[in-house]
């Protein structure tokens, strides 16, 4: 490279470094307080039990959790006092003995536990669960329909007079899957379902009864020999979980009372431990069906589920990935998923689940619980519920919480007296475009090591067809832009984004974008970059380098390679991606512009 090009490259670098002065703020940087307990009264489905039906030597929880005693199988349907009122259903198991070694071709009985918001004056008494003493609030009475919340009853909560409208209020539904060896009414789970319902959700969880399919216990999951000895039964157990949840959802939506009470466009999923794995399956993932992940099969998927929260989700072990070799089966997960994992969890190791999260094809987050193990401590409940409810409200677009997304994209930690927690992985895939928006897609060139944002469909198609040369591939990251100035007057602050290319001016084989009019003028004036015109339109940062509430900060990183005339910039709305670039030696230049989620 001759001395003239060297001077041009260094001058171009200098002026871009000057523009990097704005604050190095990231998206997820706020510590927030925990949310308040839900304001709604809650009722739950009938799970009344007859103590006379419990076998000698057995306990009620043996039936809840499906544990055999004295070689006798147990399940909750055997001790129900009101079986005709309880929510029961049969799951037809596919006739595939490779995947369902013990129950292929059979119909397996299941029971579900459902909690839901109800009227302030619901007259039904609470039910005290045997053995634990935990309460089921306002339990559905024998022969009665569930007392779901009506529009008239909602008006009473809001302080307005009677409306006379007795139709159910359509509420978002959470399909709930407990951990291995648990049940929806085991301590910890029953309280979490009730609290989630108090926040305005219908919550439905199946009694998985895992020991009916496999004798493996949660403490065995980190042990190679135990997993190996029980692997065929473990495959059946993991495959039947998403299947049972899908059938439960079918039945729930077909029920005349529950079906009318569910907002069928706002269905989410929750899974704890092995339940988190089940949710990966429902969301599109594939499961390992041999120990090393070399054999990979699809469990039951359910596209009705629009967002998933996994608490200490099981992603397998280092010796046995849950989602096929290299967690490749996770790539088909196509709904937003937030995983919350403990840094000291040896049962569901964080780094194993993180590999799966990184492979998800849609919006993906991972929140770490510092020193957290495979547990839910009461003191961590505020952390869990604040992340979970805010995430659901944001990604299920719950209309009663219109600012949820604006809050969620700023959250790094919840201060609730529990474990320290931080957002460590964040990749948001934009929502559907509105108001004339389009989506700018990120490409990476494997030969140049360069990144590039393409906003026009013709240009995107051309790059994919090889018109820009070999080596270009989509990274899966993107953000929203406008191809022209939006007509909406509330968006009058949107500005043109200048697009520059280095080669015609003797600069690098790279593009540079800026929404700053002063930076655009500076780059034009100083040379080293050729001005190609307006690339797209975007909201600029304010005078302090910040974005308006509800906007994602588009972060800029620079590869520090001006001396070789090889400058390149990466633009991303992902803090974790930005940090990764810094770890690779790139300069973390700060917020360059602002994108709508």
- Please write the tens of the pLDDT for every residue from 308-331: 999 999 999 998 899 999 999 999
What is the rounded average pLDDT of the residues 427-440? 97
What is the rounded average pLDDT of the residues 70-95? 97
Q: Which residues are registered as beta bridge partners of 453?
A: 442
Burial of 15 (0-12, 13-18, 19+ CB in 10 A): middle
**Residue 343 pLDDT class (50, 70, 90 cuts):** very high
The mean pLDDT of the chain is 93
What percentage of the chain carries pLDDT values higher than 90?
A: 87
Lowest mean pLDDT among 136-140, 227-231, 292-296, 410-414: 227-231
Continuous segment of H or E residues that includes residue 357: helix 350-359
Q: Is residue 293's pLDDT more than 80?
A: no
The model carries a pTM of 0.94
What is the rounded average pLDDT of the residues 353-364? 98
Q: Is residue 483's pLDDT more than 90?
A: yes
Contacts of 476 (CB under 8 A, 6+ apart): 361, 427, 429, 442
Residue 207 CB: number of other CB atoms within 10 A?
26
User: Contact, 343 vs 369, CB < 8 A?
Assistant: yes
Closest CA to 498 of 459, 535, 526: 535
**Residue 5 pLDDT class (50, 70, 90 cuts):** very low
List, in order of start, the domains of the chain with CATH numbers: 3-29+432-595 (no CATH), 59-409 (3.40.50.1820)
Q: Please state the three-class secondary structure of 448-485 as a single string.
A: CCEEEEECCHHHHHHHHCCCCCCCEEEEEEEEEEECCC
Q: Is residue 10's pLDDT more than 90?
A: no
pLDDT given at position 223: 58
Q: Is residue 17's pLDDT more than 60?
A: no
Closest CA to 281 of 218, 360, 203, 207: 360
Please give the Cα distance from 10 to 16 (Å, whole number).
10
What is the rounded average pLDDT of the residues 576-589? 97
């Amino acid at each position: 490279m001759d001395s003239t090009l060297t001077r041009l490259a260094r001058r171009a670098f200098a002026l871009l470094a000057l523009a990097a002065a704005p604050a190095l703020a990231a998206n997820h940087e706020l510590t927030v307080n925990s949310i308040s307990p839900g304001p709604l009264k809650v009722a739950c489905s009938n799970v009344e039990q007859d103590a006379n039906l419990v076998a000698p030597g057995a306990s009620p929880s043996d039936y809840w959790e499906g544990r055999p005693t004295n070689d006798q199988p147990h399940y909750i349907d055997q001790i129900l006092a009101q079986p005709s009122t309880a929510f029961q259903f049969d799951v037809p198991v596919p006739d595939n003995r490779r995947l369902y070694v013990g129950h292929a071709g059979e119909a397996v009985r299941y029971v579900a536990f459902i909690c839901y918001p109800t009227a302030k004056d619901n007259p039904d008494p609470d039910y005290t669960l045997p053995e634990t003493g935990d309460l089921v609030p306002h339990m559905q009475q024998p022969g009665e329909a569930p007392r779901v919340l009506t529009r008239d009853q909602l008006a009473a909560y809001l302080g307005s007079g009677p409306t006379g409208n007795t139709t159910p209020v359509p509420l978002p539904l959470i399909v709930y899957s407990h951990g291995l060896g648990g049940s929806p009414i085991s301590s910890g789970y029953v309280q979490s379902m009730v609290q989630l319902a108090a926040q305005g959700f219908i919550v439905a969880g199946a009694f998985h009864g895992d020991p009916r399919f496999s004798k493996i216990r949660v403490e065995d999951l980190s042990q190679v020999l135990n997993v190996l000895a029980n692997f065929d039964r473990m495959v059946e157990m993991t495959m039947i979980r998403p299947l049972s949840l899908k059938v439960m959802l079918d039945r729930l939506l077909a029920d005349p009372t529950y079906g009318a009470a569910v907002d069928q466009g706002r269905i989410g999923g929750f899974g704890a431990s092995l339940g988190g794995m089940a949710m990966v399956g429902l969301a599109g993932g594939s499961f390992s069906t041999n120990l090393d992940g070399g054999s990979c099969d699809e469990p039951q998927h359910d596209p009705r589920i629009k967002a998933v929260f996994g608490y200490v989700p099981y992603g397998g072990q280092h010796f046995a990935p849950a989602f096929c070799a290299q967690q490749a089966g996770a790539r088909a997960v196509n709904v937003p998923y937030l995983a919350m994992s403990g840094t000291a969890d040896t049962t569901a190791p964080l780094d194993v689940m993180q590999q799966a999260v990184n492979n998800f094809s849609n919006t993906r987050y991972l929140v770490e619980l510092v020193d957290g193990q495979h547990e839910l401590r009461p003191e961590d409940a505020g952390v869990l519920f604040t992340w979970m409810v805010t995430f659901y409200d944001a990604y299920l677009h719950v209309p009663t919480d219109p600012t949820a997304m604006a809050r969620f994209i700023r959250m790094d930690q919840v201060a609730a007296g529990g474990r320290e927690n931080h957002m460590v992985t964040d990749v948001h895939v934009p929502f559907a475009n509105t108001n004339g928006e389009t989506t700018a897609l990120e490409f990476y060139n494997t030969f140049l090591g360069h990144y590039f944002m393409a906003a026009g469909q013709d240009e995107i198609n051309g790059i994919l067809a090889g018109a820009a040369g070999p080596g270009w591939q989509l990274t899966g990251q993107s953000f929203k832009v406008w191809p022209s100035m939006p007509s909406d007057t509330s968006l009058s602050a949107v500005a043109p984004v200048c697009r520059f290319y280095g080669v015609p001016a003797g600069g690098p084989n790279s593009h540079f974008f800026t929404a700053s009019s002063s930076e655009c003028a500076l780059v034009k004036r100083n040379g080293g970059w050729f001005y190609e015109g307006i690339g797209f339109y975007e909201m600029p940062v304010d005078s302090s380098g910040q974005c308006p509430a509800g906007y994602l900060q588009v972060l800029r990183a620079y590869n520090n390679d001006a001396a070789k005339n090889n400058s390149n910039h990466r633009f991303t709305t992902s803090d974790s991606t930005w940090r990764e670039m810094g770890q690779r030696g790139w300069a973390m230049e700060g917020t360059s512009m602002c994108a709508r989620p």
